[in-house]
Amino acid sequence: MYLKPIILSLILLATARAGQRPNILFIAIDDLRPELGCYGAPQVKTPNIDKLAAGGMRFDRAYCQVPICMGSRACLLTGILPTSKRFVGDCRVAVDVPDAMTLPEAFRKAGYTTLSNGKIFHGKEDTADRSWSEAPWQSAANMQSHDPETTRRLSKTKQRGRIYESPDVADDAYPDGQTARKTIEDLQRLKKEGKPFFLACGFIKPHMPFYAPKKYWDLYPRDSIQLATNRQRPANAPKELKGSGEFRSYHLAGLDENSDEFHRMMRHGYLACTSYTDKLTGDVLAELGGLGLAENTIIVLWGDHGWHLGEHNFWGKHNTMHLAIRVPLIVKVPGKKPGASSSLVETTDIFPSLCALAGIATPATVQGRDFTALLDDPKKPFHEAAYSRFVSADAVVTNHFSYTRYEGGKSEMLYDLSKDPQGNRNVAGDPKYAETIATMKKLLKKRQVEAAK
């Protein structure tokens, strides 16, 4: 007769604690490099993301593990590092690491409502049955909302249409606007339900093609667009270094891809789409605050990889150059002081860090590291070297250098970021850097061994 009150008390205590567990708002942005006002970009207009960064922790040296959408998202959402046999090409978590628990799955098992809107996994069906409380939502206008076979067929279309458009339409005329609207509706519903939630909101832009409402293009007069000053190939770069040719699958409006006019058009499109996504991010954050949820919600905003904007005449990612692997990462935790950290972090570290912040056990398969100590001490050293790889290239980045070694070991790149942050000169063959090369090789081997475990 005394057990019932005790059991009831325990249930009430557990319920109270569950109510105090932090919500997670997880904002993923496709192809977004740190081309944001809060990262010092001189021309882009991103007031909403800048405001988020001003109230949170901005990570200035965050790196993705694979500079392509599929692999990068697979790494982050499992906390697992890539290898030459894992997260390569058109990969899926359910195929490459079928026994690994995903980030939303860990929160779902802990009693959270987990929802996915827009592009989160690359392929909404990947682990959907165990990761999400409801079927992942995507706009019907998003190509990935089709079945996998149709998506693959459409993605191989030789000519995908014009690379940019700027119609005078409302924000929700495009999939990203519809994703923001759906996320806002979910916030309203989740507020009423009162359960802790993990709500993922994935925006496609600024991924090509550069489609955004006219008002965002109007923010940037075309003749004012600043161009890359290093459009030449890096000096001494090996033949293995290549850029992405994805942009050539679109109609380029009759422009010569080497012309200033083409470079200005491409940059204009990227900036317009970035400002469009910034506005949608602001709409979601405003609703979060208006509902009174911000006080108990951890906000994470990240880009899945970097992007070249004409530097070295590259457009896109698909290599291990610094601009292709460095990403924006902002984490806002209620009660934590805002700041900025230059410590090296990886996107695989997001998984264990969110688990730590929510008081959830980190799955044994996770290889990432908990960076929550940096939220209190931003200058605390973290990774000695950040690791990335793409197809046949493996790379590590330290505080001052970026090193890439291609399979077979015959070709390598070393960039002195302290003197050459844009990566204009490969100094791997310079005798003055022989000791640095030896050190970077050891660091790379160490990270490869760690990834292979």
Q: What is the mean pLDDT of residues 4-19?
A: 40
pLDDT digits (tens, 9 = 90+) for 253-283: 899 999 999 999 999 999 999 999 999 999 9
Distance (Å) of CA 352 to CA 74, 76, 115 = 15, 10, 19
Please give the Cα distance from 89 to 71 (Å, whole number).
7
pLDDT digits (tens, 9 = 90+) for 230-243: 999 999 999 999 99
pLDDT attached to residue 267: 98
Query: Is 203 among the domain residues?
Result: yes
Structure tokens at 442: 């050891």
On whether the CB atoms of residues 346 and 76 are closer than 8 A, the answer is no
On whether the CB atoms of residues 362 and 303 are closer than 8 A, the answer is no
Quickly state the pLDDT bin for 410 (edges 50, 70, 90): confident
Question: Per-residue pLDDT for 328 more than 80?
Answer: yes
pLDDT attached to residue 150: 47
Query: Is 90 among the domain residues?
Result: yes
pLDDT digits (tens, 9 = 90+) for 42-58: 999 999 999 999 999 99
Looking at 38, 64, 91, 122, which residue is catalytic? 122
**Cβ contacts of residue 177 below 8 Å, gap of 6+?**
170, 171, 280
Please give the Cα distance from 144 to 133 (Å, whole number).
20
pLDDT attached to residue 149: 52
Query: Is 430 among the domain residues?
Result: no
Please give the Cα distance from 123 to 143 (Å, whole number).
10
Query: Is 417 among the domain residues?
Result: no
Q: What is the CATH number of the domain that holds 233?
A: 3.40.720.10
Would you give the DSSP letter of residue 62?
A: E
Query: Is 450 among the domain residues?
Result: no
Nearest Cα to 234, choosing from 150, 298, 324?
324
On whether the CB atoms of residues 275 and 49 are closer than 8 A, the answer is no
Please give the Cα distance from 87 to 76 (Å, whole number).
11
pTM for the whole structure: 0.93
Nearest Cα to 141, choosing from 215, 211, 206?
211
383 a catalytic residue: no
pLDDT attached to residue 272: 99
Looking at 38, 64, 69, 355, which residue is catalytic? 69
Query: Is 302 among the domain residues?
Result: yes
Quickly state the pLDDT bin for 249 (edges 50, 70, 90): very high
Burial 381-410, CB ≥16 within 10 A → b, else e: ebbebbbbbbbebbbbbbeebbbbbbeeee
Question: Per-residue pLDDT for 18 more than 70?
Answer: no
On whether the CB atoms of residues 395 and 404 are closer than 8 A, the answer is yes
pLDDT attached to residue 146: 42
Q: Output the DSSP codes for 324-366.
A: HHEEEEEEE-TTSPPEEE-S-EEGGGHHHHHHHHHT-PPPTT-
pLDDT digits (tens, 9 = 90+) for 91-134: 999 999 999 999 999 999 999 999 999 999 999 999 999 999 99
pLDDT attached to residue 5: 35
pLDDT attached to residue 7: 44
Query: Is 11 among the domain residues?
Result: no
Average pLDDT over the chain reads 93
Residue in the block written with tokens 């310079």? 430
pLDDT attached to residue 9: 36
How many domains does the chain divide into?
1
Between these two residues, 159 and 356, which has the higher pLDDT value? 356
Question: Per-residue pLDDT for 351 more than 70?
Answer: yes
312 a catalytic residue: no
Please give the Cα distance from 424 to 437 (Å, whole number).
18
Question: Per-residue pLDDT for 19 more than 70?
Answer: no
pLDDT digits (tens, 9 = 90+) for 160-170: 799 999 999 99
pLDDT digits (tens, 9 = 90+) for 136-149: 999 987 655 444 55
Quickly state the pLDDT bin for 408 (edges 50, 70, 90): confident
Query: Is 354 among the domain residues?
Result: yes
- What's the domain range around 335? 21-399
